[in-house]
Amino acid sequence: MTGGAGSRPIEVVCLDLAGTTVADGGLVEEAFLAALDAVGVPDDGPTRDAMLGHVRSTMGTSKITVFRALLGDGPPADAANRAFEHAYEVLLDAGRVAPLPGAAATVDALRASGVKVALCTGFSRATLEKLLEVLGWQDLADLALCPGDAGRGRPYPDMVLTAALRLGASAMWSVAVAGDTAADMESGARAGASVVAGVCTGADGPRRLLASGATHVLATVAELPEVVADR
Q: What is the CATH number of the domain that holds 134?
A: 3.40.50.1000
Domain holding 106, by residue range, is 12-24+97-230
What is residue 199's predicted lDDT score, i.e. its pLDDT? 96
| Number of domains, the chain | 2
- Domain annotation covers residue 2: no
- Domain annotation covers residue 4: no
- Domain annotation covers residue 133: yes
- Within this chain, do residues 128 and 41 fall inside the same structural domain, yes or no? no
* Per-residue tens of pLDDT for the chain, all 231 residues: 444 444 689 999 999 999 999 997 788 888 888 988 888 888 877 888 888 888 888 787 788 888 888 888 889 898 988 898 889 888 888 888 899 999 999 999 999 999 999 999 988 898 899 999 999 999 999 999 999 999 998 999 999 999 999 999 999 999 999 999 999 999 999 999 999 999 999 888 999 999 999 999 999 999 999 999 987
- Within this chain, do residues 130 and 79 fall inside the same structural domain, yes or no? no
- Within this chain, do residues 132 and 219 fall inside the same structural domain, yes or no? yes
Q: Are strands 195-199 and 175-179 parallel, antiparallel or unpaired?
A: parallel
- Domain annotation covers residue 6: no
- Domain annotation covers residue 214: yes
- Within this chain, do residues 73 and 110 fall inside the same structural domain, yes or no? no
- Within this chain, do residues 72 and 117 fall inside the same structural domain, yes or no? no
- Within this chain, do residues 113 and 226 fall inside the same structural domain, yes or no? yes
- Domain annotation covers residue 1: no
- Within this chain, do residues 17 and 39 fall inside the same structural domain, yes or no? no
CA distance 28 to 127: 12
What is residue 7's predicted lDDT score, i.e. its pLDDT? 62
Given a contact cutoff of 8 angstroms between Cβ atoms, the answer to whether 62 and 122 are in contact is: yes
- Within this chain, do residues 16 and 66 fall inside the same structural domain, yes or no? no
CA distance 13 to 124: 21
- Within this chain, do residues 85 and 180 fall inside the same structural domain, yes or no? no
Domain boundary among 93, 125, 143: 93
- Within this chain, do residues 128 and 81 fall inside the same structural domain, yes or no? no
- Domain annotation covers residue 219: yes
What is residue 39's predicted lDDT score, i.e. its pLDDT? 86
Domain boundary among 35, 67, 93: 93
- Domain annotation covers residue 208: yes
- Within this chain, do residues 102 and 172 fall inside the same structural domain, yes or no? yes
3-state secondary structure the chain: CCCCCCCCCCCEEEEECECCCEECCCHHHHHHHHHHHHCCCCCCCHHHHHHHHHHHHCCCCCHHHHHHHHHCCCHHHHHHHHHHHHHHHHHHHCCCCEECCCHHHHHHHHHHCCCEEEEECCCCHHHHHHHHHHHCCCCCCCEEECHHHHCCCCCCCHHHHHHHHHCCCCCHHHEEEEECCHHHHHHHHHHCCCEEEEECCCCCCHHHHHHCCCCEEECCHHHHHHHHHHC
Q: Are strands 116-120 and 12-16 parallel, antiparallel or unpaired?
A: parallel
> How many CB atoms lie under 10 A from the CB of residue 195?
24
What is residue 52's predicted lDDT score, i.e. its pLDDT? 84
- Within this chain, do residues 85 and 129 fall inside the same structural domain, yes or no? no
What is residue 122's predicted lDDT score, i.e. its pLDDT? 87
Domain boundary among 74, 93, 112: 93
